[in-house]
Amino acid sequence: MTLNSQILGQLEQQAIELPSWAFANSGTRFRVFGQPGVPRDPFEKIADAAQVHKVTALAPKVALHIPWDKVDDYAKLRNHAEDLGVALGTINSNTFQDEAYKFGSLAHSDAAVRQKAIDHHFECIEIMNETGSQDLKIWLADGTNYPGQDDMRGRQDRLTESLAKIYERIGENQRLVLEYKFFEPAFYHTDVPDWGTSYAQVVALGERAFVCLDTGHHAPGTNIEFIVMQLLRLGKLGSFDFNSAFYADDDLIVGAADPFQLFRILVEVVRGGGYGPDSGVAFMLDQCHNVEKKIPGQIRSVLNVQEMTARALLVDRDALGAAQQAGDVLTANSILMDAFYTDVRPALAEWRESRGLPADPMEGYAESGYQQKIEAERVGGEQAGWGA
């Protein structure tokens, strides 16, 4: 099995958005281990993200998180990004770090708190207008810890109303993307816990509202590729937050914990028309690099996505369809496994070299001297926001 020119043409179109927060210091609730050379401001986060794109040609956009990436002049930030060969991408809102949001934000029982959260999203939309961003991504920590703590039905109704107000402000060429997560920080119920709830909410909003699927936001054992298939079938898969998990929202390097799961997801993405610039499906990473270095961590991640996409594109669709139609279980399964077990790394390395990229981008970055430079120059780097 080889990567023919058609597959290479498809791979050339791959674009993965990097999260700005992956470059800053992050950790767990137990400890944030600071690293030398981490960015001190959003400008430096973008400079680091641009290094990933430089050695891989895979990561042309950087997602921002507000207020973690708040600056006085977004046009300046946009120009800075463009000068470095990348663009500003998704704007992520934050309604989980303010004292007012102790009992929720868009679903809160107090209208004043809901309005505060809505206003924050209005501010995010204004920022999107300046950064040229297409997507407003909303992940809510809203939920309760104890049965009876609040009325789940009332919260869901309030959430619908709040989202409608935000959606009204979304521009013609913008989208609202609603992310779900089954638990944490709320431990009894979460207001947007699953794809079905996110789907119901975005369908009620309209055609520019979509679901965001974060691969780490499901209970262990969940068949995530089935959800991918269903959302693509329904035309409501807006974006991915890729990462990997052994247990819950681990935010580890995508493809690290379960490469086969990443393959199965990408097979459904390709099957469902979710791959490519016109698919309407944004590939994003949502990861934390707590113990490994940040920039190489992101390089490893985008390469993992590229390798697994190549394998998904290798699946012999015609032969698979015929075997499925004939009820030939073992042949159908082996066609899929043949693609999964194909080592595409040598072919990808050769292809990169032919495009003027380092055959091994990890090595290319290590040899660039950038890491040594930032470690020497930057003192007092930022926390991602999680530990702040």
Q: Which of 69, 191, 214, 225 binds Mn ion (CB under 5 A)?
A: 214
* Beta-strand relationship, 135-139 and 175-179: parallel
Fill in the per-residue mask, 114 to 133: x = in contact with ligand PSV (CB under 6 A), - = not in contact: --------------------
Q: Which of 181, 208, 311, 352 binds ligand PSV (CB under 6 A)?
A: 181
Using Cβ positions, the residue closest to ligand PSV within the complex turns out to be 139
Smallest distance, Å, CB 286 to ligand PSV? 5
Instruction: Give dist(CA 136, CA 56) in Å, integer.
Output: 26
Q: Tell whether residue 92 is a contact of ligand PSV (CB under 6 A).
A: yes
Q: Which of 69, 225, 241, 268 binds ligand PSV (CB under 6 A)?
A: 241
Smallest distance, Å, CB 249 to ligand PSV? 5
Q: Which of residues 218-237 bind ligand PSV (CB under 6 A)?
A: none
Backbone angles phi, psi at 347, to 5 degrees: -65, -40
Q: With CB under 5 A, what is the number of residues at the site for Mn ion?
A: 4
Judged by beta carbon, residue 139 or residue 210, the one nearer ligand PSV is 139
Q: State the binding partner of 360 from Mn ion, ligand PSV, none, CB within 5 to 8 A by kind.
A: none
Instruction: Give, as one character, the DSSP assignment of residue 337.
Output: H
Instruction: Give dist(CA 141, CA 103) in Å, integer.
Output: 9
- 181: CB partners within 8 A, 6+ apart: 139, 190, 192, 193, 214, 217, 249
Q: Which of 191, 214, 225, 360 binds ligand PSV (CB under 6 A)?
A: 214
Of 78-86, 154-162, 243-251, 331-339, the segment contacting Mn ion by CB under 5 A is: 243-251
Q: Which of 17, 225, 249, 268 binds Mn ion (CB under 5 A)?
A: 249
Q: Tell whether residue 142 is a contact of ligand PSV (CB under 6 A).
A: no
Instruction: Give dist(CA 361, CA 51) in Å, integer.
Output: 10
Smallest distance, Å, CB 139 to Mn ion? 6
Q: Tell whether residue 17 is a contact of Mn ion (CB under 5 A).
A: no
Of 214-222, 226-234, 261-269, 306-314, the segment contacting Mn ion by CB under 5 A is: 214-222
Instruction: Give dist(CA 3, CA 55) in Å, integer.
Output: 21
Q: Which two tokens stand for residue 234?
A: 């329904």
What's the helix, strand, coil split of the chain in %, to 5? 45, 15, 40
* Beta-strand relationship, 189-190 and 143-144: antiparallel
Q: Which of residues 255-294 bind Mn ion (CB under 5 A)?
A: 286
Residue that is written with structure tokens 């965001």 in the block: 212
Q: Which two tokens stand for residue 288?
A: 């934390």
Residue that is written with structure tokens 């394998």 in the block: 311
Q: State the binding partner of 92 from Mn ion, ligand PSV, none, CB within 5 to 8 A by kind.
A: ligand PSV
Instruction: Give dist(CA 285, CA 241) in Å, integer.
Output: 5
Instruction: Give, as one character, the DSSP assignment of residue 151.
Output: -
In terms of residues, how long is the chain?
388
Judged by beta carbon, residue 274 or residue 358, the one nearer Mn ion is 274
Q: Which of residues 260-299 bind ligand PSV (CB under 6 A)?
A: 286
Q: Which of 48, 241, 268, 360 binds Mn ion (CB under 5 A)?
A: 241
- 334: CB partners within 8 A, 6+ apart: none
Q: Which two tokens stand for residue 127?
A: 């920022």
Backbone angles phi, psi at 240, to 5 degrees: -110, 145
Q: Tell whether residue 179 is a contact of ligand PSV (CB under 6 A).
A: yes
Judged by beta carbon, residue 141 or residue 267, the one nearer ligand PSV is 141
- Footprint of Mn ion on this chain (CB under 5 A)? 214, 241, 249, 286
